[in-house]
Chain A
Amino acid sequence: MHIRVNGVSHDLQVARLAQALEVLGYRQAAVATAVNGVFVPAGAREELLLADGDALEILAPMQGG
């Protein structure tokens, strides 16, 4: 199914958010996630089912003022 990850379309053969992060190479990374603009805590990623067309945001620590 097609998932937009940080604004870029990806064809991912996964069902759940945790699997998507694994496939995308974020398994060990410190990241925060939101699906369709709604925050998904780290503890809910194993359960959250993705759907075709979902927009996934993966944010990482960054410099800030």
Chain B
Amino acid sequence: MKLYDVELASRLLLGSARYPSPAILADAVRASATEVVTVSLRREAGTQRSGQDFWSLIRGLGVRVLPNTAGCHSAKEAVTTAKMARDIFHTAWIKLEVIGDADTLQPDVFGLVEAAAELAADGFEVFPYTTEDLVVADRLLQAGCRVLMPWGAPIGSGRGLNNGFGLRALRAHFPDVPLIVDAGIGRPSHAVQAMELGVDGVLLNTAVAMAGDPVAMAGAFARAVEAGRAGFEAQPMEPRDLAVPSTPVAGTAWLA
């Protein structure tokens, strides 16, 4: 998979939040075989400098980072946060989130397009967290995005793909644009479904971090993403309503 001219062997992108411990986060990243880990920026609480320790751990994993603008509710906030992220993480990549609804964490797609245009013009390589809306997707591409990240379901909900039809339509409309399903994936089977639709990759966090065994789940998702992609490339059969015997009828014994 190629994202902004970067060739990646793994189609799984992994979040770094909500793990039981830094050691489990590190083991999960290794087990997932991901090459891209999402990170964020926050005020550092107290004098413990936990952010510095976290950054040291991530750098030690040898992965690419994809900073996000989580928590931003306006284009202005998101643009400023993106610039601050570039200053720390030294990458042009930014996972652009502009949240429009507190309950569903649904993107504010109007603010998203506005921020994407400003950031792309400033040299950022924008990964917009968006809905499956085709018109919004088109506006994001016009704004300079070269990757789209439609949600599967609300962030952290683990509901899977709420709108498979919408994702299929998005794939069909933009066959050459990398699509990453971001958010809502709860189980490896959801990742398989997304990949079988023909999306290029999956970004998830909570499904691994909050699993009973995050490291084992990271491995399970790695295999699920590979299986779903292999299934898509193998061109699955079309479903039909009536049964068709798989064993040849010709030569059946007359035993009645």
CB distance from A4 to the nearest CB of B (A): 12
Interface Cβ pair total, 8 Å cutoff = 99
Residues of chain B from 86 to 132 with CB closer than 8 A to chain A in the complex? 87-89
Residues in A neighbouring B205, C-beta threshold 8 A: 65
Q: Let me know if B15 and A59 touch, CB within 8 A.
A: no
Contact A62/B155 with A32-B88, A39-B83 known, Cβ cut-off 8 Å: no
Residues of chain B from 29 to 54 with CB closer than 8 A to chain A in the complex? 38-44, 47, 49, 51-52, 54
Q: Let me know if B70 and A64 touch, CB within 8 A.
A: yes
Given contacts A63-B17, A65-B40, list 6 more A-B pairs with CB under 8 A.
Answer: A25-B47, A32-B88, A41-B83, A60-B88, A61-B55, A65-B68
Q: Let me know if A64 and B17 touch, CB within 8 A.
A: yes
Task: Report if B8 contacts A (CB, 8 A).
Answer: no
Q: Let me know if A63 and B16 touch, CB within 8 A.
A: yes
Task: Report if A34 contacts B (CB, 8 A).
Answer: yes
Identify which of B58, B88, B155 gathers the most chain A CB atoms within 10 Å of its CB. Answer: B88
For A41, give the chain B residue with the smallest CB separation: B87
Q: Is the interface of B mostly helix, strand, loop or mixed?
A: mixed
Task: Report if B193 contacts A (CB, 8 A).
Answer: no
Give A42 to B19 CA distance when docked, in angstroms. Answer: 31
- State how many residues of chain B have any CB contact under 8 Å with chain A: 34
Size category of the binding interface on chain A: 20 to 34
Q: Let me know if B17 and A58 touch, CB within 8 A.
A: no
CB distance from A63 to the nearest CB of B (A): 4
Contacts A/B (CB < 8 Å), 23 sampled: A6-B44, A32-B41, A39-B80, A39-B83, A58-B44, A59-B42, A59-B84, A60-B43, A60-B49, A60-B55, A61-B41, A61-B52, A61-B54, A62-B41, A62-B42, A63-B16, A63-B17, A63-B18, A63-B40, A64-B40, A65-B17, A65-B38, A65-B156
Q: Let me know if B44 and A65 touch, CB within 8 A.
A: no
Q: Let me know if B41 and A60 touch, CB within 8 A.
A: yes
Pick the contact of A60: B18, B44, B206 (CB < 8 A).
B44
For B76, give the chain A residue with the smallest CB separation: A37
Q: Let me know if B51 and A34 touch, CB within 8 A.
A: no
Q: Let me know if B58 and A61 touch, CB within 8 A.
A: yes
Residues of chain B from 133 to 163 with CB closer than 8 A to chain A in the complex? 155-156
CB distance from B225 to the nearest CB of A (A): 17
Residues in A neighbouring B84, C-beta threshold 8 A: 32-34, 39, 59
CB distance from B142 to the nearest CB of A (A): 26
Residues in B neighbouring A58, C-beta threshold 8 A: 43-44
Task: Report if B194 contacts A (CB, 8 A).
Answer: no
For B155, give the chain A residue with the smallest CB separation: A65
Q: Let me know if B51 and A62 touch, CB within 8 A.
A: yes
Give A18 to B68 CA distance when docked, in angstroms. Answer: 26
Pick the contact of A65: B41, B47, B54, B70 (CB < 8 A).
B70
Q: Let me know if B16 and A64 touch, CB within 8 A.
A: yes
Q: Let me know if A62 and B83 touch, CB within 8 A.
A: no
Q: Let me know if A64 and B39 touch, CB within 8 A.
A: yes
CB distance from A44 to the nearest CB of B (A): 10
Contact A64/B44 with A30-B88, A38-B80 known, Cβ cut-off 8 Å: no
